[in-house]
Structure 1
Amino acid sequence: MQLQNPLWDYALKLYASDVVQALCLRLQDEQGLSVNRLLYAGWLTQQHCLLDASLLDRSSARYWQQQITSPLRAIRYQVREAKQSEPHLASLYKALREAELEAERVELAHLYSLKRRHDYTGLLSSHLMERNLGEIALLAGQQENTQCLELLRALGEALLKPL
């Protein structure tokens, strides 16, 4: 597994954008989509690759996200709430944030290993982005959720802007 990889670099760069971060967090918190999967879809688009939803759905990245990253995030959210009335929990909260970031890095390494070299498609970048993000919505059961699709459209536009 390659923890330092182009997908990790892409994710760090894109997630530093306030617009991308806000859209990703809304899609995660309000629609149940994975930030890492969203960034993976954007990165694949930049690589002119089509996202393979069936491969993603049965991958080690899926397992890692469900069994490690998401539970860590849930615990961090609980501690974030608790530290409002118990300030001494601030160092635990910080440690959980760092652990979650490392778990996301491992998850992105799993996702990076899924990229196929010969998946090039001749679709325009905007159409490919829409298709790749649509696959993420489908995997999350949100393919007919109008609000989710509007947020995905906005995220797609933000991800296609030059870095």
Structure 2
Amino acid sequence: MKSKFFTDRKENFKGTMKSYSFQAELEIIGINPFVAVPPDILQKIFQDSGREKSPIPICGQINEKTYQQNLMFFKGDWRLYVNTTMLKNSPKRIGEIFDFTISYDSEPRIVKQPQVLSEALAKNLEAKKVFDQLIPSKQVEINRYIARLKTEEAIERNVR
């Protein structure tokens, strides 16, 4: 079933950028739950962001829960992927209709390198050389992964 869209415009939860509201049915491609953003809202996001190339950083709410995500272009369509951080048990909720707000997110998304990783790389020049040769998105992924670890043991196990 194709999503039905109901849209209106209001300020986003940060109160800074234009925000757009819609309802959409949660769909799945492969193992990834997503919703299609209505074409008129997608055009407004392109206009607000000044770009039509993936990824486009966005923020908003799903059923009044705040999220930060990227709009992605995949297999000919723009998609808002809905992960379990955004919506608990999202893979099990395919077919449900949810309320969304969406805004272009102009806030920089800088992921600082965790101090423990910086120190470890400074001590191991061979590892630093390998890390520095990784593509920037892979470096960000590693920094984000280390930064989100909860225990000292997990951090130590992943950094050494």
TM-score, structure 1 length as denominator?
0.26
Higher relative CO (Cα under 8 Å, sequence separation at least 6) belongs to: 1
More helix by share: 1
More strand by share: 2
